[in-house]
Amino acid sequence: MRNISFSQATLEAMQEEMRRDERVFIMGEDIASQGGIFGQFKGLPKEFGLERVRDTPISETALVGAGIGAALAGAVPVVDMHFADFIGVTMDEVLNQMAKIRYMFGGQATLPLVLRAPDGVTRSAAAQHSQSLEAWFLHIPGLKVVIPSNPADAKGLLKAAIRDQNPVIYFEHKDLFSKKGPVPDGDYLTPIGKAAVVREGKDVTIVSYSAMLGKCLEAADQLGSLHGIEAEVIDLRTIVPMDMETIYESVKKTHRLVVAHEAVKTGGVGGEIAASVSENILEYLDAPIIRVGAAFTPIPFSPPLEKRVIPQVESIVEAVLRARW
């Protein structure tokens, strides 16, 4: 396998899908002229031209609305939101159009549309450019939501999202774009709706996704070396649909569960997982479920405060130890 960056992996996914299917095109702000804020679109205009790599006005509402129309007309649009925070501007299109059209047409219309949404905390981007908003879309039927944690899945999930006949929101953490990892050669897809057990263990299950997954693996190393605790780590990869069966099987083995994410803890994905586990396999739990998430506050600009608000490796270690060990 090659060792390439998350950004390069998503670029490869776009190149391969645009070569494979001439209906695939991408549009957004400054993606042709600038190559994307994180370099994730560099070279695409030269190969595919400005008809298929379109710079647009600064109007997220127009972007998503045009994407919906293009998908209904037979194209396969990939819409870059620049920052996930800006999805708030488009909520009528996302909530009442994108998520509902296939259902309201009785399946006679498909909507193969991907929203790429860079999210998460990095480099003191402050309150309006650092949010993790995935839990909003857990509550909206009709959408699929994927969140890769590594370059291989970044490529595989983006390709799978482009080929899906339903609208997919593709969250890509800003701090991951420069991170490198092994990526297979050739055409492959990461299945939407299937979690991955990325580290096996017998004492506690840790569930996470996106950039927080890396911190969970570091925490698992510390738990093993310092406390003799063997943590099993699950990468969700997709939160809609969510692979609860993989989580259930792990918890039945370990009897303890910690869920960690960078998003605000209140009302987050961790709460949904905790409720589902409690409703379905409560008898297997030997300790309370512990959630780890950001403090209930806007993300501060100050680097020390930013670090304080967002869970760190130590937060996950402490959560595991709190589970009545």
Domain carrying residue 126:
2-183
65 with 125, same domain?
yes
243 with 282, same domain?
yes
200 with 164, same domain?
no
Token digits of residue 294: 């950001």
Residue ending a domain, among 153, 183, 213, is 183
Token digits of residue 299: 């993300």
**Cα–Cα distance between 241 and 283 in angstroms, integer?**
25
Query: Does 278 fall in a domain?
Result: yes
Query: Does 247 fall in a domain?
Result: yes
103 with 201, same domain?
no
Q: Phi and psi of 15, rounded to 5°?
A: -60, -45
The answer to whether 137 and 143 have CB atoms below 8 angstroms apart is yes
| 129 in catalytic set | yes
Instruction: Kindly give, in sequence order, each residue whose CB lies less than 8 Å from that of residue 131, ignoring residues fewer than 6 positions away.
Output: 84, 85, 119, 120, 263, 299
One-letter amino acid for residue 26 of the chain = I
156 with 262, same domain?
no
**CATH code for the domain of 7:** 3.40.50.970
Query: Does 113 fall in a domain?
Result: yes
**What is the SS3 string spanning the chain?**
CEEEEHHHHHHHHHHHHHHHCCCEEEEECCCCCCCCCCCCCCCHHHHHCCCCEEECCCCHHHHHHHHHHHHHCCCEEEEECCCHHHHHHHHHHHHHHHCCHHHHCCCCCCCCCEEEEEECCCCCCCCCCCCCCHHHHHCCCCCEEECCCCHHHHHHHHHHHHHCCCCEEEEEEHHHCCCEEEECCCCCCCCCCCCEEEECCCCEEEEECCCHHHHHHHHHHHHHHHHCCCEEEEECCEEECCCHHHHHHHHHHHCCEEEEEEEECCCCHHHHHHHHHHHHHHHHCCCCCEEEEECCCCCCCCHHHHHHHCCCHHHHHHHHHHCCC
**pLDDT for 21-47, tens place per residue?**
999 999 998 888 888 878 889 889 999
79 with 144, same domain?
yes
Query: Does 189 fall in a domain?
Result: no
120 with 77, same domain?
yes
Rounded mean pLDDT for each run of 10 residues along the chain, 325 residues in total: 95 97 95 83 92 93 96 97 93 96 94 96 87 96 98 98 98 96 95 98 98 98 96 98 98 98 97 98 97 96 93 97 80
8 with 145, same domain?
yes
**CATH code for the domain of 287:** 3.40.50.920
Residue ending a domain, among 149, 183, 217, is 183
Which pLDDT belongs to residue 325?
62
93 with 241, same domain?
no
179 with 200, same domain?
no
**pLDDT for 245-260, tens place per residue?**
999 999 999 999 999 9
What pairing do the DSSP bridges indicate for beta strands 204-208 and 290-294?
A: unpaired
**Cα–Cα distance between 58 and 16 in angstroms, integer?**
28
Q: How many domains does the chain have?
A: 2
Query: Does 116 fall in a domain?
Result: yes
Token digits of residue 222: 């510390």
**Cα–Cα distance between 149 and 187 in angstroms, integer?**
19
167 with 204, same domain?
no
219 with 306, same domain?
yes
pTM attached to this predicted model: 0.95
Which position among 129, 139, 227, 255 bears the catalytic label?
A: 129
